Amino acid sequence: LSEYQPFRVFVLSLKRIPDQGFFQKQKLLSEKLKSKKSLFFLLDFEENNSSHKNLYAKMQEVSSELPVIVSDRSELSDVMFSTFSHLSLNTILVEGGNLLYRMFAERLNKEDLIYFIRTESSIAAGISPDIDLLSKKKIYEKKIDTDTWEVYGE
């Protein structure tokens, strides 16, 4: 884990703006890793909204690529996979909930793995992921700080 870090991929709706702590954490990770390995896909972006422009600028500070504005939610998966292909990415860490799991689950291959991270800190109660882990084989589990990392495959 300390030697290799995949790209961290975030899909953010600007109707629910992340707090300052989120951007500070990304900045600290970038400094620690000596690499800006974050990708942002933005939903609900309004060009005339000054707070959206400010957030876009904050994302640029911690991202290796320009944040991608997705105008139509139905095109999100195509835009994301096109971006991953353009960057020649074969390993990514997608941080998100049900929307992303459902989207990616439709495109997973047999050799693809799901990393499920359970945390005891800093995440407010929300919707549990709609993932049937019982149908997957647990390949690996490790406690890292306050998180438990689990890896599932076929």
- pLDDT at position 94, please? 65
* The pLDDT of residue 140 is above 80: yes
Q: Which two tokens stand for residue 46?
A: 């309004």
Residue linked to tokens 């991608």? 68
- Which comes out higher in pLDDT, residue 67 or 91? 67
Q: Is the pTM of this model over 0.75?
A: no
- Which comes out higher in pLDDT, residue 124 or 115? 115
Average pLDDT, the chain: 82
- pLDDT at position 123, please? 54
Question: Do the beta carbons of residue 16 and residue 96 sit within 8 Å?
Answer: no
Sequence-ordered list of residues with C-beta below 8 angstroms from that of 92, at least 6 positions apart, any chain:
6, 7, 8, 9, 39, 84
| Distance of alpha carbon 136 from alpha carbon 142, whole angstroms | 17
* The pLDDT of residue 29 is above 80: yes
Percentage of the chain beyond pLDDT 90 is: 13
For residue 1, name the pLDDT band (cuts at 50, 70, 90).
Answer: very low
Residue linked to tokens 């109660």? 125
| Distance of alpha carbon 94 from alpha carbon 8, whole angstroms | 6
For residue 100, name the pLDDT band (cuts at 50, 70, 90).
Answer: confident
